Structures are given as C-alpha cells and as structure tokens.
C-alpha cells in the first residue's frame, strides 16, 4: 500500500502488482495494427545547387523511379533540369506497410548571377504547408487531416572539398528553424576517402560556428546498447557522403548492383564501404522517420504556430483590430452605457430632492400663513365674544346703555308694553 510520507498528497502514482492478466500489455500491438491499416505519410524535400544529383538520389533512396522519364533518353541527351518546385506523390508498400511518400524537388540554385533570394520560394513552400495544416486543425471537422508538412530536408552540398559556401550558410540559416535539416555531400564519388573526412569536419565546424541546427538523432536513457551503438554510428556519418544512381551495373565478380561504373572500377550505392547512402536511408526511413515526423510536429510546427498566432495577437492590440473585435467592442459599449445610466440616475435623484425641498418649503410657508390667519381670526372672534359678553353682562345688570344702544332698549320696552 502507498506510504503516507510527506509527499503522499503530491505523488499520485501508486505502484501495484496485478493479480491477473488485464490486457493492456497488448496496447502496442493495437497501435501497430492501426498504424499499418492507416499507413504513413512522409514528406521529404531536396534542396541544393543545380546538378548535384538531387532527383537521382530520391530515386535511389526510395528504390523507385519517381522521376523516370516517360521516353528513354538518348545517350547524348542531357537529363532535364528541375525548373520549379515539384511535388511528387507515391504510394509505396513494403511487407504490407503502406507509405504515402511525397517528395518535394526544388530547382537547383546557383545558376543565376544574383542568387540572393533563391531561398525565398523554398521557405515559402515550407510555410505554406504549415499554413495548410493549421487551417485543417482549425476546421470544424478535423476527421481527415492531411499532413503535408516537410518532415525532412536533404541539403545537398557541392563536393568542393573546401568548406561551406556563403550561399549554403544562407540557405541553412533560413531553413533550420522550419525543417529537419539533413546535410549531405553530393556526388561523393568525386572525392577520396581522406578528402571526404576532412570536408566533413570543416562542414561540421561551419555549421557549429553559424549556430545552424541540423537534425540530431535523439537518444533515450532506457535504450539498449545495440540501439545506442546504431544511433552513434548514424550520427558519426553526418554529413552523409552520398552517391546516387538509379542504374544497375554488373560488377567484375558477376553481381548486379546499383552503382556507377568508372574506368577504374564500380562504385556501389548500397555498399557501406563505398559511401554513406545506406546510413542516410537508415536514418531517414528505417530508424528515425517517426522521430522526424514527431520533431516536425512537436517542435518546428509548434514554434511556427505559436509565432504566427502571437503575431496575430499583436495585431489585435492595434486600434485597427479593436474596431472590428466584436467581443471587446460590446464590453466597451456596455461599460459606457452603464456609466451613462448611473449619471442619469444621479441627476434624477438630485432634481427629485430639489423638487421635494421646494415643495416642503412651500408647504411650510402656507402652513405658517394658514396658522397666522387662523390666529388672527381666532383673536377677532375672541374679541367679538368678549365684547358680546360684556354687553350681555351690562344688559343683565340693568345699566343704562350707550345712546345708540338705548334706541334698542326703548324699542324693546315699547314692544314689552
Ligand atoms: P537540378 O534539377 O538542376 O537541380 O539537378 P539535380 O540536382 O536534380 O541533379 P540530377 O539528379 O538531375 O543529376 C545531375 C547529373 O548528375 C546527372 O547527369 C546525374 O547522372 C549525375 N549524378 C547524380 N548523382 C550523382 C552522383 O552521386 N555522382 C556523380 N558522379 N554523378 C551523379
């Protein structure tokens, strides 16, 4: 049972031994079956100077002639150049596992006098794929989200044997935050082993110096020795020195291999002693395809998405956006309306109090007037009464009346008689 230590409330993991078979050990198999049924989507992009063998390597890599010319080319004809960003889709299957592969071939640059902005269409292509994914995520119905994001970008370096060119640095700096960069030395058959080793070191030094982030195979703590050794082996070959060929040639010992035939011998594409093609394919397809997809989704796309949404958020703060932001607008209107009502109420209260005071003053005044009149009348009546009483008393006591009053007495006497 869990101990009730000081962290009892914090730690929510309770380790228990199961009494019988529950079945969740089968979860990986469920995921496996589902993935096989659904198939996989993977998009690779090739970037590099013109004529470095990008199209050839893609054909070699996926063992299929994605770029096969419809008509066989006459021996003297030049291979057609890629002149625009082309996206080629292919459904390939291996041991029942389906892979929907998209290859984005970009036109080779470096042919123009001014190559300053040649990275722009490529970056725009990568971003438009992010845009399309974001748009799909924001849809009401997100059942069928198609992932067209570029998961890996093979960057082709000319086999000069020197170091990286300015144009390569510029390209990589523009691309590394948006895509998994995998540098490759093109046409490695044109360099000796020693030259390749030196060239690789110089390229890596340049990449580090310019803080360019290239795809690193991740390592996990709980991995077995074999996996770790494989990861180290792959990492040690970066940048991969590759040779591409979609032609099968016969070796002197009678084998049929994919390779290039030279007067001094045959260079085999699939021979690890001859070039790093096998290691590149292993990294791209066999070992790290899922890692490449995951890193694209979790890091590259996520960063781009945050930046994009933040930039939209900044726009929200501007007065232009405020004008059309209905929620903010309503809130503002409500506050204004409430303030107006409160002011009106206060004014009405004041007017009412004033009116009441005036009325009260008027009432008091009329009350006082009434009171005064009443007092006056009362005084008059009192005086009249006292006069009459005086008269009455005088009459009763038989006292002679005043002349004008004697007339009445005479009359009375007469009447009595
Ligand atoms: P753009 O479409 O102009 O960008 O060219 P690309 O980079 O796609 O090159 P492409 O695959 O068309 O190959 C150009 C030429 O190089 C062809 O004649 C290929 O046969 C040749 N080539 C391709 N790969 C290799 C290689 O590994 N070594 C050598 N020596 N030649 C190669």
Give per-residue pLDDT as tens, 325-384: 677 777 888 888 888 889 889 989 989 999 999 999 999 999 999 999 999 999 999 999
Distance 270 CA to ligand 1 centre (A): 17
Claim: this prediction has a pTM higher than 0.80: no
259 lines ligand 1 (CB under 6 A): no
Beta bridge partners of 62: none
Instruction: Give residue for tokens 């269409």.
Output: 121
- Mean pLDDT in residue range 181-194: 92
261 lines ligand 1 (CB under 6 A): no
Name the band, by pLDDT with cuts 50, 70 and 90, for residue 73: very low
Count of the separate structural domains present in the chain = 2
Q: Is residue 404 part of a domain?
A: yes
- Domain around 344: 330-416
Instruction: Give residue for tokens 């390229």.
Output: 203
Domain match, 140 and 280 both: yes
Domain match, 267 and 339 both: no
33 lines ligand 1 (CB under 6 A): no
373 lines ligand 1 (CB under 6 A): no
Q: Point out the domain boundary residue: 257, 286, 320.
A: 320
Beta bridge partners of 112: none
Name the band, by pLDDT with cuts 50, 70 and 90, for residue 93: confident
**Would you say 181 and 215 are in contact if contact means Cβ atoms under 8 Å apart?**
yes
247 lines ligand 1 (CB under 6 A): no
Count CB atoms within 10 A of the CB of residue 217.
16
Q: Is residue 15 part of a domain?
A: no
Ligand 1 pocket test, candidate residues 47, 51, 109, most atoms within 8 A of CB: 51
Alpha helices (H) along 68-119: none
Whole-number average pLDDT of the chain: 81
Domain match, 139 and 288 both: yes
Give the pair of three-digit tokens for residue 154: 């093979």
**pLDDT for position 98:** 83
Distance, CA of 276 to CA of 235 (rounded, Å): 11
Q: Point out the domain boundary residue: 296, 320, 344.
A: 320
């Amino acid at each position: 049972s869990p101990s009730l230590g000081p962290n009892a409330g914090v730690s929510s993991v309770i380790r228990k031994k199961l009494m019988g078979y529950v079945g969740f050990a089968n979860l990986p198999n469920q995921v496996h079956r589902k993935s096989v049924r659904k198939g996989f989507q993977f998009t690779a992009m090739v970037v590099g100077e013109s004529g470095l063998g990008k199209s050839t390597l893609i054909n070699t890599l996926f063992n299929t002639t994605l770029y096969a010319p419809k008509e066989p080319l006459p021996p003297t004809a030049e291979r057609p150049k890629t002149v625009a960003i082309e996206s080629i889709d292919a459904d390939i299957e291996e041991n029942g596992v389906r892979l929907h592969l998209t290859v984005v071939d970009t036109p080779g640059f470096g042919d123009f006098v001014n190559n300053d902005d040649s990275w722009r269409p490529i970056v725009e292509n990568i971003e438009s794929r992010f845009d399309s994914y974001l748009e799909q995520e924001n849809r009401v119905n997100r059942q069928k989200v198609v992932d067209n994001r570029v998961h890996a970008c093979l960057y082709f370096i000319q086999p000069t044997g020197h170091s990286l060119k300015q144009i390569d640095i510029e390209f990589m700096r523009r691309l590394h935050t948006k895509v998994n960069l995998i540098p490759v030395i093109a046409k490695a058959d044109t360099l000796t082993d020693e030259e390749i080793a030196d060239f690789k070191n110089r390229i890596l030094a340049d990449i580090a110096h310019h803080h360019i982030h290239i795809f690193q195979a991740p390592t996990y703590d709980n991995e077995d020795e074999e996996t770790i050794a494989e990861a180290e082996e792959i990492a040690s070959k970066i940048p991969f020195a590759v040779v591409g060929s979609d032609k099968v040639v016969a070796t002197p010992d009678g084998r049929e291999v994919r390779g290039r035939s030279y007067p001094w011998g045959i260079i085999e594409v699939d021979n690890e002693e001859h070039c790093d093609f096998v290691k590149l394919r292993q990294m791209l397809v066999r070992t790290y395809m899922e890692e490449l997809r995951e890193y694209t989704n979790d890091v590259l796309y996520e960063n781009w998405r945050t930046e994009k949404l933040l930039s939209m958020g900044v726009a929200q703060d501007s007065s232009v956006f405020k004008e059309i932001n209905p929620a903010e607008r309503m809130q503002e209107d409500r506050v204004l309306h409430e303030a107006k009502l409160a002011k009106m109420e206060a004014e009405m209260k004041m007017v009412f109090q004033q009116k009441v005071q005036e009325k009260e003053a008027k009432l008091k005044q009329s009350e006082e007037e009434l009171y005064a009149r009443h007092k006056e009348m009362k005084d008059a009546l009192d005086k009249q009464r006292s006069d009459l009483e005086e008269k009455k008393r005088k009459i009763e006591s038989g006292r002679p009346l005043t002349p004008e009053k004697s007339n009445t007495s005479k009359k009375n006497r007469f009447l009595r008689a």
